[in-house]
Amino acid sequence: MSSEEPSTRRRVILKLSGEALRETGSRDNISPEIVDRIANEVKEAMKTGEVELGIVVGGGNFWRGASASARGMDRATADYVGMLATVMNSLALQGALEHKGVPCVVQSAIEMKNVAETFIRRKAAKQLDDGKVVIFAAGTGSPFFSTDTTAALRASEMGAHQVLKATMVDGVYDSDPKKNADAKRFDRVSFQECISRQFKVMDSTAFSLCMDNKIPIVIFDLGKHGNVTEAILGADVGTVVDSQG
């Protein structure tokens, strides 16, 4: 596709938590089976030719900077360790995608030439145009920002149509559905309500950034097989968070 011809494909950013890559109860930080399933579902979506996909992966299966800081570690240092954890997850996902024939590149916000490309906005946009899956690793490259915020930032920089937040619940609730059987699930909810009521499915900075740049967020259940493919292709699989509510 030439630079003069704007893409007609949907461009989305998929946010995966690091914890989602770990099998419950396992000592292994990364489950090859879970990564393989996600890669299969991404492949199914990409082969339609209808979508351009960026992915942001968290690092919580290895490390959580906020938790380490609460135990006395310098917060900035703890966050940098967490950024490196996201690189490990990104490389594992890249390997699985490439094994299935899906063109894929990892761009890191922290320079590490031997394992990943350094993040350059225009280069990443061109790679998306060319049909490659771009995995954005190492967070924003700065401490004190979550990978949720990274997803919102990269979506804004890439001109994405949506952020897809894969979680272990099937949408946004007014309280924790694991603790409250009467929790109300929203099909659609506004950014402002998510921020004011402090819903924990995404941090307030990410919500605010997407609100400012008019990028809807879809919160959906990663655990249901097929949901990743459906979410990427724009199916109704979770709660939509946008300015309308």
Binding positions are 15-18, 59-60, 64, 79, 140-147, 167, 173, 176
Domains, the chain, ordered by start? 10-242 (3.40.1160.10)
Q: What is the pLDDT of residues 166-217, one digit of tens each?
A: 998 899 999 988 889 899 999 999 999 999 999 988 999 999 999 999 999 9
Alpha-carbon distance of 88 to 70, in angstroms, equals 24
Binding positions for UMP are 59, 79, 140-147
Binding positions for ATP are 15-18, 60, 64, 167, 173, 176
Confidence of residue 2 (pLDDT cuts 50, 70, 90): very low
84, 42 in Cβ contact below 8 A?
no
Q: What is the pLDDT of residues 119-156, one digit of tens each?
A: 999 999 999 999 999 999 999 999 999 999 999 999 99
Q: Residue 105 pairs with which residues in a beta bridge? A: 134
Tokens 């879809």 appear where? 218
Alpha-carbon distance of 209 to 213, in angstroms, equals 6
